[in-house]
Homo-oligomer: A and B are copies of this chain.
Amino acid sequence: MKKIITISREYGSGGRLIGKMVADQLGYEFYDREIIDMAAKESGLSAEFIKKTEQNLSSGWLYNLLLGTSYAGTTGNATQPVGQQGLPLADQVFNAERKVIINLAKDKPCVIVGRCADYVLSTAEEINQSELLNVFIYADIDAKVKRIEEIYKESEGDAKKQIIQTDKRRANHYNTFTENTWGDRKNYDMMINSSSVGIEATAKWIVELAKKS
């Protein structure tokens, strides 16, 4: 029985929804953006700042962070210089999220979406590796565009642009903070195309796999 399931996913593939369905069907906890608030508490950095750090690594933001000239605060107003742990702020964010993810996984059976959780948990000595299931969800570009158009009422062109940019940022974040490559099959137990298998069927597969392995 797999008690810790991580879902990595392409933007627009329905990975978050699938993760939620899996958690509901197994009676597991479900964590996605909640981790940002927990990491804020853990690190003393603001949730706003953590969110920006997660999203903006490809821009000058990271460069500034690495030079130690960046600004953040615990008040939600990202204008106060910090760096009290002597680490680049982006590393502090990653370490705070890492700690939160490991504690959550140790605490209760759960499904965790995104946040390099597959890497964090695969490399955590505290985690029983036989209880860990790492899944990657992807989809055909047409299906992803349709999904983003429907959910966020975007035009087709904007949806496509957003998909490409978001996944670039996700890959960049993952590749910066882990030793692995985002989307590389080596990191995962299974990779499922949700547009050919179907959203509900994909959730069902993951539930079955968790139960039977």
Contact = CB atoms under 8 A, between A and B. Distances in A.
Interface in A185-206: 185-186, 188-193, 196-198, 201, 205
B189 A138 contact: no
A190 B189 contact: no
A191 B192 CA distance: 6
Contacts of A201: 212-213
A188 B193 contact: yes
B209 A197 contact: yes
A207 to B, nearest CB: 13
B213 A198 contact: yes
Interface in A135-151: 136, 138, 140
A109 interface: no
A183 interface: yes
A136 B183 CA distance: 14
Contacts of A189: 193, 196-197
Interface in A111-156: 136, 138, 140
B190 A192 contact: yes
Interface string A6-28: 00000000000000000000000
Contacts of A192: 190-191
A201 B211 CA distance: 12
A198 B193 CA distance: 20
A213 B185 contact: no
A183 B188 CA distance: 14
A2 to B, nearest CB: 10
